[in-house]
Amino acid sequence: KDESRFAGVTTLGVDEHIWHHVSIKDRGPKELTGMVDLTRDKHGRTHARLLDLVPGRSGTVYKDWLKERGDTFRAHVQVATLDPFRGYKNAIDDQLADATAVLDAFHVVKLATQSVDEVRRRVQQDTLGHRGMKNDPLYKIRTILRSGAENLTLRQQHRLAEAIAADQRHEEVHVAWQCAQRVRDVYHAADPATGRALAEKILASFPSCPIPEIARLGRTLKQWADAFLGYFRTGGANNGGTEAINGLIELHRRIARGFRNRENYRLRMLLIAGGLDQPPPPV
């Protein structure tokens, strides 16, 4: 019940968490919503702390939690990071109207990579009439297509070029991969202004792309345009610390071999992930 641990939070992350995998009514919903303090110190470092775990995964759950924190807490939050889940975004818009919502960079790149996978599978079916098999040209480069161009070895570059050249219809896969590289480039730009300019070009061009999967990616990013561009207004705020806390919780859940009582689970995870500590003093 000690609310003092919520003091000083200027950057707030949110993510879902599964605390059990059995269908037992007494345990309530399997999903929890976790709130994490991602506030940076004066050196720009983030010391992520779990603030709370509440039952359910919905915008209403997050909105109610924010409402319970009071006006002072909400007014202090300047940045709210999240994964692309509309419910959480609606809660931020409703309760943290003055904060900048930021769509997590990892998940944006993941969406782009998934689009390339979808194009590869479709072209595979169109050209060979079956799912990928180990000797099929596109199947052999599936891992390469999930990589950044800057990380490819000369051998991998040659394998990519060889697979694309095997059939002129494979060029569609190559174009989709290049589009995904443009999304990655947004987060590797030399400065925020350059990154934002690249992001705006993506928002303007992807929705009209003749490749349907890339057009859908463009429409998705356009729906999230403000949160997508929020990355460049917040010094690169992201939900990475929230994901790290989630990983820590998962580790200790496995070590404990499961919990039966949700409140005990919540308290244990708050102890493990720093949620019952006071915010560290500026250093």
pLDDT tens column, 16-59: 988 877 766 666 778 899 999 999 988 888 889 999 999 999 99
pLDDT tens column, 234-258: 999 999 999 999 999 888 888 877 7
Please, are residues 277 and 35 in contact by the beta-carbon 8 Å criterion?
Answer: no
Q: What is the pLDDT of residue 193?
A: 96
pLDDT tens column, 90-142: 999 999 999 999 999 999 999 999 999 999 999 999 999 998 898 899 999 99
Confidence grade of residue 283 (pLDDT, cut at 50, 70, 90): very low
pTM: 0.88
Please, are residues 102 and 38 in contact by the beta-carbon 8 Å criterion?
Answer: no
Q: DSSP string of 120-188?
A: HHHHHHHHHSSS--TTSHHHHTTTGGGS-GGG--HHHHHHHHHHHHT-GGGHHHHHHHHHHHHHHHHTT
Confidence grade of residue 263 (pLDDT, cut at 50, 70, 90): confident
**What CATH architecture is 3-104+238-272?**
2-Layer Sandwich (3.30)
Q: What is the pLDDT of residue 160?
A: 97
Instruction: Give dist(CA 154, CA 157) in Å, integer.
Output: 5
Residues with Cβ within 8 Å of 153's Cβ and at least 6 positions away in sequence, in order, are none
User: Quick one: average pLDDT of 70-99?
Assistant: 95
Domain locations along the chain: 3-104+238-272, 105-225
Q: What is the pLDDT of residue 1?
A: 58
The token duo for 85 is 């889940």
- Asked if pLDDT for residue 278 goes beyond 70, the answer is no
Residues with Cβ within 8 Å of 109's Cβ and at least 6 positions away in sequence, in order, are 180, 183, 184, 187
Compute the Cα dihedral for 274, 279, 282, 283 and give only its sign: negative
